[in-house]
C-alpha cells in the first residue's frame, strides 16, 4: 500500500516515516520544509516532494499512485493562531479542503487519516475528554481543526472517502526541536542553561504521549476499519506542567530555575483523554511511560546538541 504523508518532514512525520521504513513501506513525503528538515529523512527510503498544501496542482501530483494519506501538514501553535487567525484558517482548513478535493477527483483512496487535537477542539471540557463531548474551541487553532474534522466527515458522507480523524494529545519525542510545545522547549532551555518559563500557576494539566505510541496508532488506523470515526489518541494520564518540569529536571540532572509568568488566554486549563474508543476500534494501548519517554527524548536532544537551539528569549512554551 502506497502512503503519502503530508508534513512528513516535521516531528510526527519523520517518526512515522521511520516506523514505516522498519515495516518495508516506502512513504512519499509532501512538505514545504518551513517546520521540517530534509536532513531528518536522510538515510530513509522515502521520496520527498516539496510543495505547499494549498497548491492544488502540487497536491494532485503528490497523490499520484497513492492509496493512503496521513495528513499532518498544519500550523499547530495555539498562540500563533491567536495572533494570526486567518493564517491558521488558510493553512489548516483550506489546505485540508484542497487535499480532500484532490483525493475525491482521483478516487481509489483506501484511507485518509487526519491529524486533529482533543484539547484545542473541546476547550475547557471536564476531563477525561472523549468523543461524545461537544466541541467548544477556545482558540482559532482549535476552531480550524474542528472545521477540518467537519470536512472529513462531509467527504466521507457525501463522497465515500474513508476518512478518520485522530485527536492527538500532547505528543513529544525525538526530532521535535522545531516544535513550540512544552517538552522540546523545556529540553532546549535546559541545554542552554536557561530557566523554564511556566505561564500561570503550573497546575494546568496535559496528556503527554510518546511519539512512537502515536505512530503505532496511525498505522493501526491504516490497517483497521475505522472510516468515519473520530478517535482520541493519548496516554490517558493527567500530568501538571509543574510536575512535568520537575520530572524533566530529574531526568536531565541539570538544575535550572523555573520562571513564573502570567497565564495566557486561549490555553486550556485541564486536559487528558479517555482512550477507550481507540482501544476498541484500533486495539490501541500506549506502551511508553512518561518517565521512559522523557529519558528517550532527553537522550536524543543531548546527542542532537549543539544543532538544537533554545527557544527565543522571552518566549514560553505552548502547553497545547
Catalytic residues: 141
Asked if 231 and 129 count as a contact pair (C-beta separation under 8 A), the reply is no
Rounded Cα distance between 199 and 311, Å, is 15
Count the residues in the chain: 320
Distance CA 243, CA 50 (A): 40
Q: Residue ranges of the alpha helices (H) in the chain?
A: 11-22, 56-62, 78-83, 85-89, 95-106, 118-122, 140-159, 182-192, 211-223, 241-252, 276-282, 290-304
CA angle 296, 302, 303 (to 5 degrees): 90
Q: Is 196 within 8 Å of 134 (Cβ atoms)?
A: no
What's the rounded Cα separation, in Å, for the pair 91 and 105? 21
Q: Are strands 239-240 and 205-206 parallel, antiparallel or unpaired?
A: antiparallel
The Cα 305–Cα 254 span in angstroms is: 15
Beta bridge partners of 31: 50
Report angle CA 258, 291, 44 to the nearest 5 degrees: 105
Cell 477527483 maps to which residue? 105
Coil, strand or helix: which one is 29?
strand
Asked if 241 and 182 touch (Cβ cutoff 8 Å), the reply is yes
Distance CA 91, CA 52 (A): 9
Cell of 145: 481543526
- DSSP state, residue 310: P
C-alpha cell at 16: 512515522
Amino acid at each position: 500500500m502506497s502512503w503519502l504523508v503530508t508534513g512528513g518532514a516535521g516531528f510526527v512525520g519523520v517518526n512515522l516515516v521511520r516506523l514505516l521504513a522498519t515495516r518495508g513501506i516506502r512513504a512519499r513525503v509532501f512538505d514545504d520544509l518551513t517546520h521540517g528538515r530534509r536532513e531528518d529523512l536522510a538515510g530513509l527510503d522515502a521520496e520527498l516532494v516539496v510543495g505547499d498544501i494549498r497548491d492544488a496542482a502540487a497536491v494532485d501530483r503528490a497523490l499520484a499512485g497513492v492509496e493512503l494519506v496521513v495528513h499532518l501538514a498544519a500550523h499547530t501553535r495555539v498562540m500563533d493562531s491567536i495572533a494570526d487567525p486567518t493564517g491558521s484558517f488558510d493553512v489548516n482548513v483550506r489546505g485540508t479542503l484542497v487535499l480532500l478535493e484532490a483525493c475525491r477527483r482521483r478516487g481509489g483512496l483506501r484511507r485518509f487519516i487526519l491529524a486533529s487535537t482533543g484539547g484545542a477542539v473541546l476547550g475547557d471540557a471536564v476531563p477525561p475528554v472523549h468523543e461524545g463531548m461537544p466541541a467548544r474551541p477556545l482558540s482559532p487553532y482549535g476552531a480550524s481543526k474542528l472545521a477540518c474534522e467537519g470536512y472529513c466527515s462531509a467527504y466521507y458522507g457525501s463522497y465515500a472517502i474513508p476518512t478518520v480523524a485522530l485527536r492527538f494529545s500532547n505528543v513529544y519525542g525525538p526530532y521535535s526541536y522545531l516544535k513550540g510545545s512544552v517538552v522540546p522547549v523545556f529540553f532546549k532551555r535546559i541545554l542552554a542553561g536557561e530557566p523554564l518559563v511556566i505561564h500561570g500557576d503550573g497546575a494546568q494539566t496535559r496528556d503527554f504521549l510518546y511519539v512512537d505510541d502515536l505512530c503505532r496508532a496511525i498505522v493501526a488506523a491504516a490497517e483497521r476499519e475505522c472510516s468515519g470515526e473520530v478517535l482520541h489518541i493519548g496516554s490517558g494520564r493527567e500530568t501538571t506542567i509543574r510536575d512535568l518540569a520537575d520530572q524533566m529536571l530529574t531526568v536531565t540532572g541539570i538544575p535550572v530555575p523555573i520562571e513564573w509568568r502570567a497565564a495566557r488566554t486561549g490555553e486550556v486549563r485541564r486536559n487528558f483523554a479517555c482512550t477507550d474508543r481507540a482501544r476498541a476500534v484500533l486495539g490501541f494501548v500506549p506502551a511508553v511511560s512518561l518517565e521512559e519517554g522523557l529519558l528517550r527524548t532527553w537522550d536524543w536532544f543531548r546527542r542532537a546538541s549543539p544543532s538544537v537551539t533554545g527557544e527565543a528569549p522571552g518566549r514560553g512554551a505552548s502547553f497545547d
